[in-house]
Protein backbone atom coordinates (compact mmCIF):
# COMPACT_ATOMS: atom_id res chain seq x y z
CA UNK A 1 0.00 0.00 0.00
CA UNK A 2 1.42 3.39 -1.04
CA UNK A 3 1.48 5.82 1.86
CA UNK A 4 0.02 9.29 1.55
CA UNK A 5 2.73 11.90 0.86
CA UNK A 6 4.01 13.97 3.75
CA UNK A 7 3.81 17.70 3.02
CA UNK A 8 5.88 20.06 5.15
CA UNK A 9 4.00 23.21 6.18
CA UNK A 10 5.96 26.15 7.56
CA UNK A 11 4.48 27.93 10.56
CA UNK A 12 4.17 31.49 11.73
CA UNK A 13 5.68 32.59 15.02
CA UNK A 14 4.60 35.21 17.52
CA UNK A 15 6.98 38.17 17.73
CA UNK A 16 7.56 40.23 20.89
CA UNK A 17 4.80 38.42 22.74
CA UNK A 18 4.98 36.03 25.67
CA UNK A 19 4.77 33.13 25.58
CA UNK A 20 6.29 32.74 22.12
CA UNK A 21 4.23 30.44 19.94
CA UNK A 22 4.55 28.67 16.62
CA UNK A 23 1.24 28.32 14.79
CA UNK A 24 -0.36 27.79 11.39
CA UNK A 25 -3.86 28.50 10.12
CA UNK A 26 -5.86 25.29 10.02
CA UNK A 27 -6.99 26.03 6.46
CA UNK A 28 -3.59 24.95 5.13
CA UNK A 29 -3.77 21.65 6.99
CA UNK A 30 -7.32 20.96 5.86
CA UNK A 31 -6.59 21.82 2.22
CA UNK A 32 -3.63 19.41 2.12
CA UNK A 33 -5.67 16.64 3.73
CA UNK A 34 -8.55 17.24 1.33
CA UNK A 35 -6.01 16.64 -1.45
CA UNK A 36 -5.01 13.37 0.28
CA UNK A 37 -1.69 14.56 1.65
CA UNK A 38 -0.55 14.56 5.27
CA UNK A 39 0.53 17.97 6.61
CA UNK A 40 3.63 18.17 8.80
CA UNK A 41 4.07 21.54 10.58
CA UNK A 42 7.63 22.90 10.51
CA UNK A 43 8.18 25.54 13.23
CA UNK A 44 11.17 27.90 13.12
CA UNK A 45 12.28 26.51 16.48
CA UNK A 46 13.48 23.23 14.94
CA UNK A 47 17.18 22.78 15.53
CA UNK A 48 19.53 21.45 12.84
CA UNK A 49 19.03 17.83 13.94
CA UNK A 50 15.25 18.16 13.81
CA UNK A 51 15.30 19.81 10.39
CA UNK A 52 17.47 17.08 8.91
CA UNK A 53 15.40 14.29 10.44
CA UNK A 54 12.07 15.68 9.24
CA UNK A 55 13.31 16.76 5.83
CA UNK A 56 14.34 13.21 5.03
CA UNK A 57 10.70 12.11 5.30
CA UNK A 58 9.00 14.94 3.42
CA UNK A 59 7.60 14.56 -0.09
CA UNK A 60 6.54 18.18 -0.62
CA UNK A 61 6.66 21.63 0.92
CA UNK A 62 4.17 24.48 1.40
CA UNK A 63 5.55 27.90 2.34
CA UNK A 64 2.75 29.71 4.16
CA UNK A 65 1.68 33.31 4.72
CA UNK A 66 2.48 35.47 7.73
CA UNK A 67 4.68 38.37 8.81
CA UNK A 68 7.20 40.22 6.67
CA UNK A 69 10.67 39.12 5.58
CA UNK A 70 13.54 41.19 6.96
CA UNK A 71 14.45 43.66 4.17
CA UNK A 72 18.11 43.16 5.08
CA UNK A 73 17.73 39.82 3.29
CA UNK A 74 17.52 41.73 0.01
CA UNK A 75 19.79 44.61 0.94
CA UNK A 76 17.30 47.36 1.81
CA UNK A 77 16.57 49.43 4.92
CA UNK A 78 13.34 48.68 6.76
CA UNK A 79 10.16 50.53 5.77
CA UNK A 80 8.11 51.78 8.77
CA UNK A 81 5.20 49.48 7.89
CA UNK A 82 7.25 46.26 8.05
CA UNK A 83 6.00 44.02 10.86
CA UNK A 84 6.49 40.70 12.69
CA UNK A 85 10.09 40.11 11.60
CA UNK A 86 11.41 36.70 12.66
CA UNK A 87 15.03 35.92 11.78
CA UNK A 88 14.47 32.30 12.80
CA UNK A 89 11.52 31.94 10.42
CA UNK A 90 13.40 33.63 7.59
CA UNK A 91 16.37 31.29 8.15
CA UNK A 92 14.25 28.15 8.18
CA UNK A 93 12.13 29.00 5.15
CA UNK A 94 14.99 30.22 2.97
CA UNK A 95 17.00 27.10 3.84
CA UNK A 96 14.06 24.79 3.10
CA UNK A 97 13.31 26.61 -0.15
CA UNK A 98 16.85 26.11 -1.37
CA UNK A 99 16.79 22.45 -0.32
CA UNK A 100 13.53 21.88 -2.18
CA UNK A 101 14.86 23.53 -5.33
CA UNK A 102 18.17 21.65 -5.17
CA UNK A 103 16.51 18.27 -4.58
CA UNK A 104 13.44 18.65 -6.78
CA UNK A 105 11.01 18.48 -3.85
CA UNK A 106 7.58 19.81 -4.97
CA UNK A 107 7.08 23.33 -3.67
CA UNK A 108 3.95 25.48 -3.38
CA UNK A 109 4.63 29.01 -2.11
CA UNK A 110 1.66 31.03 -0.80
CA UNK A 111 1.58 34.80 -0.06
CA UNK A 112 4.63 35.40 2.19
CA UNK A 113 5.85 32.07 0.82
CA UNK A 114 5.94 33.52 -2.70
CA UNK A 115 8.04 36.39 -1.36
CA UNK A 116 10.37 33.97 0.47
CA UNK A 117 10.85 32.02 -2.75
CA UNK A 118 11.69 35.24 -4.58
CA UNK A 119 14.15 36.47 -1.95
CA UNK A 120 15.82 33.05 -1.67
CA UNK A 121 16.60 33.36 -5.38
CA UNK A 122 18.05 36.85 -5.11
CA UNK A 123 14.91 38.88 -5.84
CA UNK A 124 13.60 41.97 -4.08
CA UNK A 125 10.25 43.14 -2.72
CA UNK A 126 8.08 46.21 -2.62
CA UNK A 127 7.99 46.64 1.14
CA UNK A 128 4.63 48.43 1.18
CA UNK A 129 2.37 48.47 -1.88
CA UNK A 130 0.43 51.63 -0.89
CA UNK A 131 3.75 53.53 -0.59
CA UNK A 132 5.50 51.93 -3.56
CA UNK A 133 4.43 51.29 -6.28
CA UNK A 134 0.92 52.34 -5.17
CA UNK A 135 -2.32 50.74 -6.32
CA UNK A 136 -6.03 51.35 -6.73
CA UNK A 137 -6.56 47.79 -5.43
CA UNK A 138 -6.65 47.10 -1.70
CA UNK A 139 -4.34 44.11 -1.43
CA UNK A 140 -5.00 43.89 2.32
CA UNK A 141 -8.72 43.25 2.20
CA UNK A 142 -11.04 43.65 5.18
CA UNK A 143 -13.59 41.16 3.85
CA UNK A 144 -13.64 37.58 5.24
CA UNK A 145 -10.81 35.35 4.11
CA UNK A 146 -12.98 33.22 1.83
CA UNK A 147 -14.28 36.26 -0.10
CA UNK A 148 -12.46 37.02 -3.39
CA UNK A 149 -11.92 40.75 -3.88
CA UNK A 150 -9.92 41.26 -7.08
CA UNK A 151 -9.15 39.65 -10.42
CA UNK A 152 -6.01 37.84 -11.53
CA UNK A 153 -5.04 37.04 -15.12
CA UNK A 154 -2.83 34.01 -15.72
CA UNK A 155 -0.59 33.76 -18.76
CA UNK A 156 -1.65 31.19 -21.34
CA UNK A 157 0.58 28.15 -21.84
CA UNK A 158 1.99 28.18 -18.30
CA UNK A 159 2.11 25.42 -15.73
CA UNK A 160 0.17 27.59 -13.29
CA UNK A 161 -2.64 28.03 -15.80
CA UNK A 162 -2.70 24.31 -16.53
CA UNK A 163 -2.84 23.42 -12.84
CA UNK A 164 -5.51 25.97 -11.99
CA UNK A 165 -7.63 24.97 -14.97
CA UNK A 166 -8.42 28.60 -15.78
CA UNK A 167 -6.67 31.81 -16.82
CA UNK A 168 -9.11 34.20 -15.15
CA UNK A 169 -9.61 34.15 -11.40
CA UNK A 170 -11.12 36.14 -8.57
CA UNK A 171 -8.85 35.89 -5.54
CA UNK A 172 -8.62 36.94 -1.90
CA UNK A 173 -5.79 39.25 -0.85
CA UNK A 174 -3.96 39.71 2.47
CA UNK A 175 -0.58 41.28 1.77
CA UNK A 176 1.04 44.69 1.75
CA UNK A 177 4.27 43.52 0.10
CA UNK A 178 4.89 42.09 -3.37
CA UNK A 179 7.61 41.02 -5.77
CA UNK A 180 9.64 43.91 -7.21
CA UNK A 181 12.61 42.31 -8.98
CA UNK A 182 12.19 38.64 -9.81
CA UNK A 183 14.64 36.14 -8.36
CA UNK A 184 16.83 34.10 -10.67
CA UNK A 185 14.92 31.54 -12.72
CA UNK A 186 11.46 32.75 -11.71
CA UNK A 187 8.90 33.87 -14.27
CA UNK A 188 5.91 36.10 -13.60
CA UNK A 189 2.90 34.22 -14.99
CA UNK A 190 -0.06 35.91 -13.26
CA UNK A 191 -0.83 39.57 -12.65
CA UNK A 192 -3.44 41.65 -10.85
CA UNK A 193 -5.05 44.47 -12.88
CA UNK A 194 -2.60 46.94 -11.27
CA UNK A 195 0.41 44.95 -12.47
CA UNK A 196 1.30 43.37 -9.10
CA UNK A 197 2.78 39.91 -9.64
CA UNK A 198 0.30 37.33 -8.36
CA UNK A 199 1.84 34.09 -9.59
CA UNK A 200 5.21 32.65 -10.60
CA UNK A 201 6.65 29.45 -11.94
CA UNK A 202 10.21 28.25 -12.55
CA UNK A 203 10.62 26.58 -15.94
CA UNK A 204 14.25 25.64 -15.26
CA UNK A 205 13.45 23.79 -12.01
CA UNK A 206 13.57 19.99 -12.17
CA UNK A 207 10.35 19.60 -10.19
CA UNK A 208 7.07 21.28 -9.27
CA UNK A 209 7.60 24.93 -8.28
CA UNK A 210 4.62 27.31 -8.15
CA UNK A 211 3.96 30.46 -6.16
CA UNK A 212 0.78 32.49 -5.71
CA UNK A 213 0.23 35.77 -3.87
CA UNK A 214 -3.34 34.98 -2.79
CA UNK A 215 -4.58 32.44 -0.25
CA UNK A 216 -6.05 29.38 -2.02
CA UNK A 217 -6.26 27.45 1.24
CA UNK A 218 -9.16 29.70 2.25
CA UNK A 219 -10.97 29.20 -1.07
CA UNK A 220 -10.95 25.40 -1.47
CA UNK A 221 -14.54 25.09 -0.24
CA UNK A 222 -15.89 27.05 -3.19
CA UNK A 223 -13.20 27.25 -5.87
CA UNK A 224 -12.02 24.37 -8.06
CA UNK A 225 -8.87 26.29 -9.06
CA UNK A 226 -7.81 26.53 -5.41
CA UNK A 227 -8.40 22.81 -4.88
CA UNK A 228 -6.43 22.07 -8.05
CA UNK A 229 -3.32 23.74 -6.63
CA UNK A 230 -3.20 21.46 -3.61
CA UNK A 231 -4.23 18.38 -5.61
CA UNK A 232 -1.40 19.00 -8.10
CA UNK A 233 1.17 19.43 -5.33
CA UNK A 234 0.10 16.23 -3.58
CA UNK A 235 -0.07 14.27 -6.85
CA UNK A 236 3.50 15.22 -7.77
CA UNK A 237 4.68 14.51 -4.22
CA UNK A 238 3.01 11.10 -4.36
CA UNK A 239 4.93 10.25 -7.51
CA UNK A 240 8.39 10.98 -6.09
What letter does residue 140 receive in the DSSP assignment?
B
CATH number of 6-238: 3.40.50.880
What letter does residue 4 receive in the DSSP assignment?
P
Tell how far CA 192 is from the center of its chain. Answer: 17
User: Is 79 one of the catalytic residues?
Assistant: no
**Domain layout of the chain by residue ranges:** 6-238
User: Is 217 one of the catalytic residues?
Assistant: yes
Per-10-residue mean pLDDT for the chain, 240 residues long?
A: 90 92 98 98 95 96 98 98 97 97 98 98 98 96 98 98 98 98 98 98 93 98 98 95
Coil/strand/helix, residue 78: coil
- Position 3 scores a pLDDT of 84
Catalytic residue among 139, 175, 176, 217: 217
**How many Å apart are CA 92 and CA 55, to the nearest integer?**
12
Per-residue DSSP letters for 208-224? -EEEESS-GGGTTTT-H
User: Is 175 one of the catalytic residues?
Assistant: no
Catalytic residue among 93, 111, 139, 150: 111
**How many Å apart are CA 55 and CA 80, to the nearest integer?**
36
- Position 1 scores a pLDDT of 58
What separation, in Å, do the N-terminal and C-terminal C-alpha atoms of the chain show?
Answer: 15
Cα–Cα nearest to 192, from 174, 214, 177: 214
Amino acid sequence: MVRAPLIGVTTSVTVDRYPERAYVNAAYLLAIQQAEGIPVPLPPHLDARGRVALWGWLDGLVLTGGGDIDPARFGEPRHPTVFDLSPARDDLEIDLTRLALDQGVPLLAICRGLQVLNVALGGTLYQDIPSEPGSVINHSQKEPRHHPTHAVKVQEGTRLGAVLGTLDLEVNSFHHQAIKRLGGGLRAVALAPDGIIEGVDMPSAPGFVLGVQWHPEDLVGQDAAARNLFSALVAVAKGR
